[in-house]
Structure 1
Amino acid sequence: MVREDGKRNFALRSSNGEEESVFSGNTPRQAALKAARRLEPGSSEDEADRTELRLREKGTDKVHIYDGWAWEETAPDDKPDWMPNEITEANVSKKGIDHLDE
């Protein structure tokens, strides 16, 4: 379902089909990036572990499948005072779409 502001909700599914948390975004990729930032970060993008993320679009039977990874990076020099010196960056790569048979 699309909200008034154009955002859609995507539920992160575990391997056993349970939906652990919900991420919102205008696109499935935007929600997947938010989910990927919660992964355990690696020391660099090349060394980060790839994890499969399965996001079900609320109100539909579509499950968007991504590989996601996160890594630690030094914050920019012009960062605000409240921002920590190390920040978590993330990236995702789409693998495809499944449809639930439930």
Structure 2
Amino acid sequence: MTSTSDDHRNFALREETGEETSVFSGQTPRQAALKAARRLDPADSEAQASRERFRLREKGTKKLHIYDGWAWREQAPEDKPDWMPETITEANVSKDGIEYLDEL
């Protein structure tokens, strides 16, 4: 299967209350989770970053992807484009499982 921009799926960030506050897109749940993790409060380094648990519901399904994510600040690469700031936010995620909602 070839990849196109049309292959993107939407994932809603779901709070404990069931409220869906943001939507992230990606070809895989992990891509969307990395985008969500970049919005976490970044630490000064990856070693200092604390993990935060969050859930992404794939739109059109009852499937919840559960991730631990963390973010940190890092110097931008030497060959960065002019528009990029000197310090950027990096992130990583670890998948903790999948749950299924009884109803939406």
Alignment TM class, shorter chain as reference:
over 0.9
Q: TM-score, normalised by structure 1?
A: 0.94
Counterpart for residue 49 of structure 1: 50
Deviation at 1:47, TM superposition (A): 0.7
Partner amino acid for 1:17? G
Sequence identity (%):
73
Query: Can you list the C-alpha shifts for 1:44-74, whole angstroms capped at 9, x where unaligned?
Result: 1111111111000001110000000000000
Partner of 1:81: 82
CA offset at residue 13 of structure 1? 0.5
CA distance in 1, matches of 2:75, 2:64: 34
User: What TM-score results when the alignment is normalised by the length of structure 2?
Assistant: 0.92
Asked if 1:68 is matched to 2:69, the reply is: yes
Structure 2 match to 1:34:
35
User: Which structure: greater helix fraction?
Assistant: 2
Structure 2 distance, partners of 1:83, 1:25, is: 22
- Report the aligned-residue RMSD: 0.9
In structure 2, the partner of 1:23 is 24
Runs in 1 of length 4+ with deviation above 2 angstroms?
Answer: none
| Counterpart for residue 10 of structure 1 | 11
Structure 1 residue 5 displacement after superposition? 0.8
- Paired residue secondary structure (2:18): coil
Determine if the alignment matches structure 1 residue 93 to structure 2 residue 94. Answer: yes
